[in-house]
Each structure stands twice: as C-alpha cells, then as structure tokens.
Structure 1
Amino acid sequence: MDRVIEKKGWSKKKTLTLSGITALAILVGGSIYFTSGKSKVNVESERITVSEVKKGLFQEFIPVNGVVLPQTTIYLDAVEGGRVEEKLVEDGAMVKKNQPILRLSNTDLELSLVNQQTAVYNLLTQMQIAKNAAQQNTTQKLNQKTDVENAYKEAKRVYDLNKYLYEQKAIGLQEFKQAENTFNYQVARLKLTDDILMQDASSNAQQVSQAAQSAKGSQNALNVMRKKVGDLIVRAPVDGQLTSLDAEIGQSKNKGERLGQIDIISGYKVRVDVDEHYISRVFIGLSGETTVANQDYKLKITKVYTQVNNGRFQVDMLFDGKVPDGIRRGQTLQIRLALSDETQALLLNKGGFFQQTGGNWVYKLSADGSTAYKVDVQLGRQNPDYYEVLSGLQPGDKVVTSSYENYGNMQELVIKK
C-alpha cells in the first residue's frame, strides 16, 4: 500500500545561510555600483548661491576703520603740580596763544619764591656793604699815598740840596749820608705804596667780578623760581580748540600730569587700525578710499606706527585732495585700504565655499544648470568682494559659492528646481 511522503522544508540553518549570502551579495553589488559611478546628492536650488565667473578690474584691498583727528594736536601737561583754584576756559572753547586756561596754587613753590627773593636781597645788601668798605679802604690808601708822595718830595729836595752843599764842601759827609738815606727810604716807600694800590685795585676788581657772578646766579635762580610760580597759570601754547580738559576746582594735579589738549583746526587726519597680518605690506604712500554722504574721497598713508598692540598697528592717513564737508573730530570712517593697483583679472564672488575647500576646488554648474560637479581650481589674491581666479575656470562659468558644509565628499550636486 502506497504511502504519502511529506516534502521536507528548508531547515533553519540552511535558511540563515542563504539569507547571509544574499545580503552579502547585495552589499557587494551596492558597493560596486556606488564606487564605480559618481556620488550624488540632491539640493534645492533656492538653498544655494550661484555666481558667474567674469572678467573685470581687480584690486586687493582690506576694509579698515579710521577715526578723524586734527592734523596737529598739542598736549597740555602740568609743568608744576598744584591744586586747581580756577577754570578760566571751558572744554571745547577756542583759545588764543598765551590765553590763561587754569590757575593752580602751590604753597611750597610760593614759599620757595619768597625765600629766594629774600636771599637775593640779602646778597645784594652784602655786596653793597662790601663795595662801600672797599671804596673806603681805597680812599684811605690814596690818602696814605698822598702823604708818602709829599714825604718823598721833601726828602728829594733835602737830598738834592745837601748833595750840592757836600760837593761845595759846605757840609760834612755825615749830614749828606743822612739826607741820602732818608731819600732812598722815601723812594722805597713810594714804590711800596704804588704796589699796594695796584694789588688793592686787582683785589677789588676780582671781588666785584665774583660778586657780579654770584648776583647773576642768584638772580637767575630767582627768575627760574618766578617762572615756576608763573607756570601755575596754565596757558594755551598755540591758537586752537581746547579739548579733553580734565581738571575740576579743588582737584590736585601732579607735575607732568596730562590736563588736556589743543587741536589746531587747520586740517584733519584719520588714525586707522590695521591687522598685524598686513604690517609688511603697509607703507607710506598707500592709498585708500572712503565714502561720506554718498561721495568718494581719496586718502594716503603719511605715517606708519610699527608698534603692535593687541594684534593691530596704526597708521595716519591724510585726505588726498578735497576734504569732506562737516566732518568732526572723533567721527569714524570706513576705509578701503588698497594693497595693490587695479589690474584686469578673472573674478569669482566670495562665499562660504572657501571654508570647506580652501580654494582648491568648486562645484561648477553644467550647461543646463541641472547639476554641479567638482572642478579643481587655483585662486590667488582676494578682497572683500572677489577671489582672483588663476586657473580652472573660464569667463561665463557658473559656480556654487554658498557653503559646502552639508555635501561631504560628494562628486556631484543634483539641483532640484
């Protein structure tokens, strides 16, 4: 009798083995498919920025900010310290040269002036006393010389007479010798008196010279002290506008402390901060441009301050030609500082793509604009608006210039309208 034999199904082990083989085959096939062709990603057209490569004038420049300052500024410092007693001019006022601005007081200086004046007066008094004494001494010596000259004349008369009488044998040798000795004594005495008078005149002249030098030194010291006291009145050194006055009545100011400044309103300069990255490329004579009230104005660098602070250095620029009407001290100007001359170049708009590619490649659109694919490029100089294209692109090419952050290493973008 025949028996129905039941067909055996797939065993569990066999089923798992077959499933594994199938999955592996699918994985290998997919891998081969994706690696053998270009990797793609779909993007919405409204989410990307497309720029056209074009030829045009290119100039490398950097945007910087500058502050308008007077072309010449004179600083006011306290020549002598003291207490502010009076403000004679308010901040912002126009002043004339030597016009008083502040009055300070310093009792130590004022006392020193009084003491110096007293010392000079005492010295002058002592000099006068010494001069009077010298004159009296000279007068006394002149009187003595008169007596000596008279005695000399009398001794000479007697000597001459006795010499004649002796030669005539009218008197003896003893009497003649006595007259001769008296005469010789008076000759020596007269000579000594003349020498004393010469020495006295020389000594008096030396004393007068020394006294004059001492008086001159004391007078100079007194003048200096008077000037120091006079400096307690702070005056304007030039004509101009007083600004940044930092002084209040009752406030104490130290010697050398900054009190304010005077701006000479004969022209303006612009003090500009520049990133230290450009310090080797910035020099006197570089030009820049700023826009004020919808009108462009040229500027040129006239001074470069090479000291770097907080990663920046400063330059001074002057307007090259016309100065904008109505500019004021402290006003901020946005300046385009040129680092090169204008040249013809192939231009590509700046965009976020540079952060991911470093300027080594871009996504270039196909002729119909439906896709964009990777193209190697070489970019050169740049300014805030454009990159200079050195190779890899032609005029009229369209490039995705927005960020590539979400595209990874995709070879092609499929652009959906």
Structure 2
Amino acid sequence: MDRIVEKKRFNKKTIIIIVAALVFIALVGYGYNLSLNKVYKAEADKITINKVQYGDFEDVVLLNASVVPLTSVIVSSSEGGTVAQIFTENGASVVAGTPLLRITNPNALSSYTASETSITEQINQLRKLRLDLEQNQRIMSQDMMDIENSLRTSTRKYKIDSTLYSKRVITQQEFANSSQDYEYLQGRKALLKQAVRQENQSRTMQLQQIEQSISRMNESLQTIRQNIENMTIKAPVSGRLSSYDPVIGKSYSANEMLGKIDVLQGYKLQAGVDEYYINRVKEGQTAQCEFNGKTYALTVRKVIPEVTAGQFQVELVFEGKSPDELRRGLSLQVKLTLSDNSKSLLLAQGQFFQSTGGSWVFVVANGKATKRNVKIGRKNYLYYEVLEGLQKGEEVITSSYDQFTQYDIIEISK
C-alpha cells in the first residue's frame, strides 16, 4: 500500500548553512563591538589600584592651622605723618601707655595751632561777655537799692505830710509835692523791678549758652591738644608688639596700621578650609589637634564664608586653657569633625576624582579594567564614601585617569 512521505522543512544541509551563518554573524558582531571599545594598555607599576573596603567612615577633614593670639589690637595713628623717632622694637613686651614712636606732620600741626588760637580768642570773648552781664546785674541791683532807699524816705515824708495836712499845718501844695514824689518813686520801683526780672531771665539764658559754648570749645581744645599728643604713638594695651617695622622718614596715612599688640591671654587657631565643605562647617563643631605629644580639644568659634582662592576661613578656640608653649605663627594639623562615624563602603582617595568628578571609575577584574558608573558621597582625608556602583572587595584604579579618560577598557600588563 502506498503511503505519503512528509517532506522535512529543514534538511541537514540547510541546518549547517544556518548555523554557519549565525556563527559568522556573531563573530562579526563581536569584532564590531571590539572595534567600538577603545583599549588602553597600561603597566601595573604605573597605576594605583585599591580595594573597596567596608568600615567606619570618619566624617572629618584635616586642616593646616596657624596659631594666632586670642586677642590682637591694631596700633595706628589718627593723623598721617612721617616717622621722626622710634622708641621700641618689634617683639618687645609693652604696657599700656608705653611710647612706641613719634610722627611729624607740619601741616596738621600748623592747622591745630591756628585752631587752638582761634578757639582761645572765642573763649576769652565769651568770658568777657559773661563779665559784662554780671557787671550789668550789679548796676541794676545798685539802682534798685537807690530807688528803694529814696522810696523809704519819700514814704516817711508822705506819711508825715499827710498828718500835718490833715491838721492844716502845711499847705495843700506842699502835701501835693510830697504825694507826687511818693507815687513817682513807687512807679519807678515797679518798672525797675520788672526790668530786673526780665534782665535776670535773659542773663540766665545767656549765661547758660555762654557756659555751654565755653564747654564745647574747651572740649575742642582738648581734642586738638590730644591730637598733637597723639603724634607720639603709645601702646593702647599691654602685650607683645608684632607686625611692627617703622623706619625713620617712612610716611603713614591716617589710620594706617603701624603694628599689632598681641594680648597675652591665650591663643586661637585660624585655618583655611576647601570650599567643598562650605555648607558643612558650622560654628560649635568640635576638633582636635596634637601639640608636644598631647591632644587638645577645640571648638569652631567663627566661620567666615567668603571664599578666596578656593578656601574659606574658620577660627577655632581651645576648650580650656591653651598650651603655654604656643607662639604666634606656629602651624598645627587639626582634625575637624563634621559628623559622627558611620558604617560605609570606602574607597581610598586618589587623583581619579579630578578626572571623573566621582561619577565613574575603572573597575579591575581578570587583568582588565572597565568603566563603571558609581555614586560618591562624603570624603575625608583618607577615603571617599561609596553610595552606589561598587561592592566590598572590588578593585578600582585610583590614580590619575588623565591618560586614558577616552578609553573604555584598560589592559593591565605586569
């Protein structure tokens, strides 16, 4: 009985051809992929490789700090001038009021002298006016005494004449004369009394104004004399003189710094901090430093947020008394704590960060290093904090990437 034989869809020859074609396509694709991935060959001894670790991340930053006095007072002159005489040297210990140097300024001195003469003349004129007012008061007092005396005499006569006239001893004309004198003197006394009262009020006001004017002028005189005296520059406080280098004949402008006096009451530290940390450094944060084998605790007292040359400034003070052996200008390394320690993946610091900004790294495996995107968090003086993209134990090239940033693969040869 005949049977129908089904024709196979793929015979052996067809299958071989298809497999060969797939292998060819795979080889072509692999070769194309290799052509896209740029490969750089690097010697192992010319790169730095570090392992990713897991441990405590110290959120600290190391600072190079300078020792400065806790309090410094600037020495300056209120008047500009030329150095005429020097009484002490830089580094000397001085007490408040010690003469440091003397400056000369002929123009200012001439102006002060002229002002002093003018003010003295005005004071003398005011004093003369005060004497005139006092003399006028005495004259009016004398006039009042004369009128009162005449009125007393006229009053007695008027009373006597009144009695005599009532008894018809004197004539009406004599009594009228006596009465007229009495009334006249009474009126004159009343007018003079009113004039004295007004004069006293006016004189009181004028004398107050005169005294105030003389007082102000005396203050001006005192200021002028003080300015003349200030041409001899004196120490405003007790301490050690620093930044002081005057030379005979050297000119200074008004209020220009001549030097400083370091008040010997302790020291503080000043340090520049990388602007990377500008939003993380706060007043009140703690720090520590070592000096002569001892560790000292510090506190951030002031943060100056102005950035200059990539740094901002901070001031740190000792918790307690500062070491006695400290001196201005010494350099100390300070470890500033930004926050508490925390467990994290850690990658050693290296120059790769300058090339990638921490967005990717070369991860080493089987003699090759390939690019991988990562996420870097905080950093301290030893490590970067790894947030994403790496695992504990993986190896990363941490040296500079400047030579191979454009490559995708690095073949490492020994």
- Give the TM-score taking structure 1 as reference length: 0.76
Per mean C-alpha deviation after superposition, the further-off stretch among 312-321 and 130-139 is 130-139
- Structure 1 residues 301 and 99: CA distance shift in structure 2, 3 A: same
- Structure 1 residues 358 and 307: CA distance shift in structure 2, 3 A: closer
1:302-351 deviation digits (Å, cap 9, x = unpaired): 11112223333211122446756744322334444444321122323344
Per mean C-alpha deviation after superposition, the further-off stretch among 292-301 and 213-222 is 292-301
Contact 1:81/1:253, CA 8 A, preserved across alignment: yes
Q: Is 1:275 aligned to 2:271, yes or no?
A: no
Per mean C-alpha deviation after superposition, the further-off stretch among 355-364 and 237-246 is 355-364
Return the offset for 1:30: 6.6
Return the offset for 1:372: 4.8
Corresponding residue to 1:380 among 352, 358, 376 = 376
- Structure 1 residues 273 and 166: CA distance shift in structure 2, 3 A: same
Contact 2:67/2:328, CA 8 A, preserved across alignment: yes
Per mean C-alpha deviation after superposition, the further-off stretch among 184-193 and 353-362 is 353-362
Superposed, which structure 2 residues align to 1:103-252 within 5 Å?
103-119=102-118, 121-123=120-122, 125-127=124-126, 129-130=128-129, 133-134=132-133, 136-252=135-251
Contact 1:291/1:334, CA 8 A, preserved across alignment: yes
Amino acid at match of 2:178: A
Give the distance between the partners of 1:129 and 1:415, measured in 2 at CA: 107
Contact 1:270/1:318, CA 8 A, preserved across alignment: yes
Contact 1:297/1:322, CA 8 A, preserved across alignment: no
Q: Is 1:66 aligned to 2:62, yes or no?
A: no
Q: Where does the alignment leave 5 or more consecutive residues of structure 2 unmatched?
A: 1-23
- Structure 1 residues 184 and 107: CA distance shift in structure 2, 3 A: same
Q: Where does the alignment leave 5 or more consecutive residues of structure 1 unmatched?
A: 1-26
User: Secondary structure of the equivalent of 1:90?
Assistant: coil
Amino acid at match of 1:363: V
Return the offset for 1:257: 1.3
- Structure 1 residues 230 and 34: CA distance shift in structure 2, 3 A: same
Contact 1:380/1:388, CA 8 A, preserved across alignment: yes
- Structure 1 residues 276 and 388: CA distance shift in structure 2, 3 A: closer
Aligned position for 2:83: 84
Give me the CA root mean square deviation. Answer: 3.8
User: Secondary structure of the equivalent of 2:409?
Assistant: coil
Give the distance between the partners of 2:399 and 2:113, measured in 1 at CA: 81
- Structure 1 residues 392 and 112: CA distance shift in structure 2, 3 A: closer
Could you say which structure has the larger radius of gyration? Answer: 1
Give the distance between the partners of 2:357 and 2:209, measured in 1 at CA: 89
Return the offset for 1:93: 1.0
Contact 2:301/2:317, CA 8 A, preserved across alignment: yes
Percent identity over paired residues: 32
1:224-263 deviation digits (Å, cap 9, x = unpaired): 1111112212111111111111422222222111111111
1:173-232 deviation digits (Å, cap 9, x = unpaired): 344333322322232233334344444444444443333223222211111111111221
* Count of matched residue positions in the alignment of Structure 1 and Structure 2: 385
Aligned position for 2:328: 329
